[in-house]
Structure 1
Amino acid sequence: MDWQTHITLDPNILVGKPIIKGTRLAVEFIIDLLAQGWSIEEILRNYPGITHEQIQACLSYASANLKAEKVYSLPA
């Protein structure tokens, strides 16, 4: 899944947080709903302006960013 087709970052919308294109729904909001146990069907029913592919893009965005995360130790 190419998340960049569905996710954008704009400093003028939600202080630059990643959002679903064409909405003001932040990726973190969708991820939080899933983490709280919402099903994809529940999200689609409550937010009819988004698609299944956009929800998948949120997950792909989160996955890509977690894979890129690195932790470095500082010398003592």
Structure 2
Amino acid sequence: MERSALLDRITLNPEVCHGKPTIRNKRYMVTSMLDYLAGGDTIDELLEEFDDLERDDFLACIAYANTMLKVGESAIIHSIAA
């Protein structure tokens, strides 16, 4: 799946989880899923635990985190250069 299609799975809705990034407007916060992955859970294990999520949802969380890191790094570089 293309990166942009993955990122389309991440939603920001002020009525869901206080506007924090979630998966497909469900109550699964991106940060929570990343915590599971960072804790050593595999995507396959998480798919068993959260049967209404798909493999691409977890890949979308990783892609979103990567994008946010790039944006943050870019902002830091621009503020140093200014």
TM-score (norm 1): 0.88
Q: Please state which structure has a larger fraction of its residues in helix.
A: 2
Match of 2:64 in 1: 61
Match of 1:23 in 2: 26
- Percent of aligned pairs with the same amino acid: 32
Residue 33 (structure 1) aligned to one of 8, 31, 36: 36
CA deviation map 1:14-58 (0-9, x unaligned): 111000014200000110000000000010000010000111000
Code of the residue aligned with 2:13 in structure 1: it is D
Aligned-CA RMSD value: 1.2
For the residues of structure 2 that align with 1:13 and 1:22, how far apart are their CA atoms?
A: 7
Which blocks of at least 5 consecutive residues in structure 2 are unaligned? none
Whether 1:9 aligns to 2:12 is yes
Which blocks of at least 5 consecutive residues in structure 1 are unaligned? none
State the number of aligned residues. 73
